[in-house]
């Protein structure tokens, strides 16, 4: 997001949108943030399903577990609140990542070199923010 919006910023495409009285936040930022908010929980569910199936295949092949034993242990050791907390965290992380990417992209200057620096800065800020938020969630939840 930061790279795409940063490129639009340094090539004055965002300025052209503003000259046509098109709100950059509504036209460029909002769809990206909403899509991140929608897709991150979906990606979390998909990755959890793949991880569970991969774990089942590994334990069935290497340790000769039955399907009943494996999936019964999932039922015993995981609760619905664990899944809901994971979905909530993915929603927050997706929103924060999108907001940081959009903000950094909109404030990009300096041509192609500035776009590269903005992309690295957006990644660094997103990763640090996610680590801090995850630590806070671990403390609070």
Domain ranges of the chain: 2-11+25-43+80-140
> Model's pTM, two decimal places?
0.87
pLDDT(78) > 90: no
pLDDT at residue number 46? 97
Contacts of 41 (CB under 8 A, 6+ apart): 87, 90, 91, 94
**Mean pLDDT score of the chain:** 95
pLDDT tens-digit series, residues 117-126: 999 999 999 9
pLDDT confidence of 132, banded at 50, 70, 90? very high
DSSP string across 85-116: HHHHHHHHHHHHHHHHHHHHHHT--SHHHHHH
Residue with tokens 């090539």: 11
């Amino acid at each position: 997001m930061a790279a795409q919006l940063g490129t639009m910023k340094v090539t004055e495409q965002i300025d052209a949108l503003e000259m046509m009285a098109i709100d950059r936040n509504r036209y460029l930022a909002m769809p990206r943030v909403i899509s991140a908010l929608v897709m991150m929980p979906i990606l979390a569910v998909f990755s959890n399903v793949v991880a569970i199936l991969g774990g089942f295949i590994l334990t069935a092949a290497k340790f000769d577990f039955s399907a009943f034993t494996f999936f019964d242990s999932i039922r015993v050791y995981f609760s619905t609140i664990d899944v809901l907390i994971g979905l909530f965290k993915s929603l927050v992380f997706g929103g924060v990542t999108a907001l940081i990417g959009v903000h950094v992209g909109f404030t990009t200057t300096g041509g192609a070199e500035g776009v590269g620096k903005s992309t690295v800065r957006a990644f660094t800020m997103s990763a640090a923010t996610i680590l801090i938020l995850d630590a806070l969630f671990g403390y609070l939840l």
